[in-house]
Amino acid sequence: MFKMYDGIKKKKTMTKFLIVTGPEHSGKTTTMGMIYKKLLLSAKDSYLADVNDIEIPTDDSLMVNGIPQDFIAHLNIKGKKVAMISAGDIAQYVKEYVEDYLDKQVDYIICCIRTVNRKGSARRVLYSDFVNYPKEEFWTVYSDDKEQMFHVKENIVNQIVSKIV
């Protein structure tokens, strides 16, 4: 997990949420994987795990049989603590991981949520339970063309990465 800085008093930070949003099967997890890989290039240290918090190698493809896999990650980038939660379809995961990362005083939480705002949804949890934190949403882009599926997401990936790096 994040290394604590012995002897240095850390100021309390206001965590900012950067949210990848879109309907079901729109490429949110794929977009998150692309963001992770790009942020990893600037990271001093990092941790990557599946949604059960079982560590996986940081160079994992995050794909199984061509299907993007949900993950959690945290990275230290130029002194900023960045947490990532790709499992945005499951409100319980979002709530638990967000609470844990807020306790660790991360600077950014990048997470996925579906566009649907109904009772028990991850969107409702994020906007109701964590109302006092600044949030910025980025709509993912989808392409049926397998050759374009990554290319169409590059603009969103670059926008989010530029907010941190």
The model's pLDDT over 64-107, given as tens digits with 9 standing for 90+, comes to 888 889 999 999 999 999 999 998 878 888 899 999 999 999 99
- How many percent of the chain have pLDDT more than 90? 62
114 within some domain: yes
Mean pLDDT in residue range 27-53: 93
Domain, as residue range, for 82? 36-164
What was the pLDDT predicted at 3?
Answer: 43
CB 94 within 8 A of CB 111: yes
Starting at the edge strand found earlier in the chain, the sheet holding 108-114 runs: 45-49, 72-77, 80-85, 108-114, 16-22, 135-139
The chain-wide mean pLDDT, for the chain, equals 88
Give a yes or no: residue 85 inside a domain.
Answer: yes
Task: Classify residue 107: in a domain, yes or no.
Answer: yes
Number of domains comprising the chain: 1
Neighbours of 116 (CB within 10 A): 13
Strands 108-114 and 16-22: parallel
Residue 2 per-residue DSSP state: P
Residue 9 maps to a domain? no
Q: Please state the rounded mean pLDDT for residues 46-55.
A: 91
* Residue pLDDT, tens place only, 124-155: 999 999 999 999 999 998 888 878 888 899 99
- 84 is a domain residue: yes
The CA-CA-CA angle for residues 36, 40, 43, to 5°, reads: 130
Distance between CA atoms of residues 151 and 148, nearest Å? 5
Pairing of strands 16-22, 135-139: parallel
Q: Identify the residue whose tokens are 């989808």.
A: 142
- pLDDT of 5 > 70? The answer is no
Asked, for residue 23, whether it belongs to a domain, the answer is no
Measured CA to CA, the distance from residue 101 to residue 83 in angstroms comes to 7
Q: Quote the CA–CA distance of 14 and 5 in Å, as a whole number.
A: 18
* Within a domain: 112: yes
Distance CA 106, CA 90 (A): 21
The whole-model pTM stands at 0.88
